[in-house]
Amino acid sequence: MQEWGLSEELKIQTKQMIEIAEKELSIMRKAIDKEDECILCKMEDIHHMLANVQTLAATYYIQAYLSPYTESSHSITATVQHLSARKHGALIVVQRNETLESLIQTGTTLNAHLTSPLLESIFYPGNPLHDGAVLVKNNHIVSAANILPLTRSTEVDPELGTRHRAAIGLSEKSDALILVVSEETGRTSFALNGTLYTISL
């Protein structure tokens, strides 16, 4: 990833969490040789600490990548969090500097002001628009049920589904940022510059 480093506040928070995790790892290392110690609980604690670090960093990076291009970045991330918790699949394209009309097959034109409830409702199972991608430009939902170009890269995990392949495919051809929520796992990812990053929000 490039474009932005961590903010000073986030650097401090991240360092503090890593230091705590390092102390816990040191305690766990010593506990391995003790028969009356269960290290599973300590592993779980460390896992949660590192997950919190990832969540902090992921939230920061998403906001940093989106905020110059839309004032609705917080609404978008809030929607993704809700969809992820409910395991509702989603594909959200945020247009940045480059136009995308020639790269996507337009579905249903909406031209609606972006709100979290509206964006979430589009991906509700059973909604006829939920299978395709939503295109966001500035603070508007331009269209829904759009079809994106699939990646042809042989280096992509063959187990990735259509949404993830579409996200990577469009990010290979443009500077758009594409958010994906897996309906199987609820896991959240974003594609940028041809790379898919798994995140926790």
Does residue 101 fall inside a structural domain?
yes
Highest mean pLDDT among 1-10, 65-74, 116-125: 116-125
In a shared domain, residues 98 and 48:
no
Q: Which of 34-38, 101-105, 152-156 has the lowest mean pLDDT?
A: 34-38
In a shared domain, residues 62 and 112:
no
Q: Tell me the pTM.
A: 0.79
In a shared domain, residues 148 and 167:
yes
Q: Which residue has the higher pLDDT, 45 or 184?
A: 184
Share of the chain above pLDDT 90, in %: 59
In a shared domain, residues 80 and 62:
no
Closest CA to 149 of 131, 162, 135, 130: 162
In a shared domain, residues 180 and 103:
yes
The boundaries of the domain holding residue 89 are 73-199
